[in-house]
Amino acid sequence: MIVLDYRDSRPLYQQVKDSLRRMMLTGLLEPDEKLPSVRSLATQLAINPNTIQRAYAELEAEGYIYSVAGRGSFVSAGDGEHLRRIAELTGRLVPLLEELKSLGYTREQLLVLWEGGEGK
């Protein structure tokens, strides 16, 4: 389930993309499962279809989904072990990031940490 947070600093397309990726990595969306159409997901989330299209385009460029002309977008099969490892690491990382955010870290400070600098 995709829930948008309008207070989040991330753009809506990024929130949609992150939610779909998380659903794929945790097994909520199975390989070769058909994704909702751009129009239906946009209607369901009450956002512009271009937002969904951008999220889908980026997921496809990153190899998470593939498109079939006239049929829609589907979850890529990928390397199962690789995806499980990513899901495991993501499951450990997300709570740490949320805790840092609750302690006052900004997105920019988290990016500095990611890039090897010092946070606060």
Residue 37 belongs to domain with CATH number: 1.10.10.10
Q: What is the pTM of this model?
A: 0.68
Are residues 53 and 85 located together in one domain of the fold?
Answer: no
Are residues 67 and 84 located together in one domain of the fold?
Answer: no
Are residues 107 and 48 located together in one domain of the fold?
Answer: no
- Structural domains of the chain, count: 2
Are residues 59 and 101 located together in one domain of the fold?
Answer: no
Are residues 29 and 59 located together in one domain of the fold?
Answer: yes
Are residues 60 and 108 located together in one domain of the fold?
Answer: no
List own/partner pairs for 40-47 with CB under 8 A and 24 or more apart.
41/2, 41/16, 45/2, 45/4, 45/16, 47/4, 47/12, 47/16
3-to-7, 13, 46, 59, 76 alpha-carbon distances in Å: 12, 12, 11, 18, 23
Could you report the per-residue pLDDT of 37-94, keeping only the tens digit for each? Answer: 999 999 999 999 999 999 999 999 888 899 999 999 999 987 666 666 777 777 788 8
Residue-number span of the structural domain to which 90 is assigned: 79-120
Could you report the per-residue pLDDT of 18-38, keeping only the tens digit for each? Answer: 999 989 888 899 999 999 999
